[in-house]
Amino acid sequence: MHTTHITPLEFDSELVSRHDGHGPRYTSYPTADRFAPHPVTDAYVAAIKARNAGASASPLSLYVHIPFCDTVCYYCACNKIATRHKSRADDYLDDLEREIAMIRRLFADKPVVSQLHFGGGTPTFLTNDQMCRLLDMLHDAFDFASDAECSIEIDPRRLQEGALALLREYGFNRMSIGVQDVDERVQKAINRIQPTEVTHGVLEQARELGFRSINMDLIYGLPYQDTVTMARTLETVVNWRPDRIALYSYAHLPERFMPQRRIDTQKMPGPKEKLAMLKLAVTTLLDAGYVYIGMDHFALPDDELAQALDQGTLQRNFQGYSTRADCDLIALGVSAISRVGHVYAQNARTVEEYAQSLDRGELPLIRGLVMNRDDEVRRDAIHSLLCQSELDLQAMSHRWEIDAGAYFATEIESLADLERDGLVTVSDELIQVTPKGRFLARVVAMRFDKYLRAGTPMVRYSKVI
């Protein structure tokens, strides 16, 4: 594994601007938009049974989607339901209990879980009693490894007293805190008023309780943002010193996400200002000692994510970058996407459709994809480029019993323009993403996406930068 080149990053504004465009984030390959709306239940069940029979030694990961929020943040592109009625979560937990029972019956023995993640919506929408109920259901159905990584997305504004202590009692050790921006005018424009003292208070409480890795989410490209507001947000967050920082580009897709129609586009920064904010953020975080992990993630050098990067063991899944070995994923709740063996399977997108399937005694799956060998080979190649900043053609040849140079001949030829621009270097043995190319690794990875070559319109994806 060639890892000595990984840590450096050179941010070249001109190259970033030139190669910006629409593209997938590759939390999966094939990407979720390739899933077909046909029955996938039989294939999914068969994959779990094959796992029972020893066909897979992959660790098991759980994801639970809690779709509720008290209020809508206008920028949000998640599958969520805005409501102040906590009772709606009781009905949803009834449905989750049925889905968990169905999944548990598919396993011969009580499965051992190495990772758990709660996402949303806002998982902390749940009351402490509701959270206890959900966690008890999961612990009744699954065994959790002693070193299990348990993480949750936190909205500091909606945190019930005692909630963090409760989560620690159940083994949660990681969290992600939504910040976005500390400027009050920006917060009002996106309908997310969040005083810094509230955010900092949650951070300090989490540290006192022993959460060992804390991420903060920031967004650039929102209304009223500029380099001045970005500098203020960065100064605040860097002083807090979270273990990880995720820096997301705001993707304005109002035709797909209705709340974004409330965003005043006249107040959004233009492309040059947005690029200047990005450069400022990258420079500030690197100067503050953070390591660039990839795409939009940074971490302190002693964080497990940075260590996995240097050791060549970094992974990528539906939650983004991960430190654990490639897992089979059981995903629970509305719109959640599972992957077991060769099979991707997605649940119904609405609580109504989700509940109706369970009423019929059926798993609430609506679409999915069974990977073929080419999908798996390309998935390996794409994730290698995004996680290790290289594609070792000799290792690929050995791993997949192919001639990787010949297999990817068209893709390698297509890299010529990126090589001329200094984003990659190509030899018979190795394709390496250069320090200048690391921020554009998605652009490199897209050259290996068979489905994009088939002519899928690019506008359906968010911007790369």
Known binding-site positions: 63, 69, 73, 75-77, 120-122, 153, 180, 192, 217, 251, 337
3-state secondary structure of 21: coil
Rounded Cα distance between 109 and 112, Å, is 9
Q: CA angle, 289 as apex, 215 and 172 as ends, to 5°?
A: 20
Burial code (b: 16+ CB inside 10 Å, e: under 16) for 92-104 equals bbebbbbbbebbb
β partners of residue 338:
345
Burial code (b: 16+ CB inside 10 Å, e: under 16) for 161-199 equals eebbebbbebbbbbbbbbbbbbbeebbebbebebeeeeb
Largest CA distance in the chain: 61
Q: Among candidates 395, 447, 366, which has minimal Cα distance to 41?
A: 366
Rounded Cα distance between 70 and 83, Å, is 5
- With tokens 């369970």, the residue in question is 358
Structure tokens at 373: 């060998």
- Residues within the annotated binding site for S-adenosyl-L-methionine? 63, 75-77, 120-122, 153, 180, 192, 217, 251, 337
Cα 65 to chain centroid distance, Å, stands at 13
Question: CB neighbours of 223 closer than 8 A, spacing ≥ 6?
Answer: 186, 189, 190, 263, 264, 267, 268
Q: At what angle do helices 373-388 and 393-400 cross, to 10 degrees?
A: 150
- With tokens 């309780």, the residue in question is 209
- Residues within the annotated binding site for [4Fe-4S] cluster? 69, 73, 76
Whether 175 contacts 206, CB under 8 Å: yes
The H or E element containing residue 449 is none
Asked if the peptide bond before residue 121 counts as cis, ω within 30 degrees of 0, the response is yes
Rounded Cα distance between 332 and 345, Å, is 11
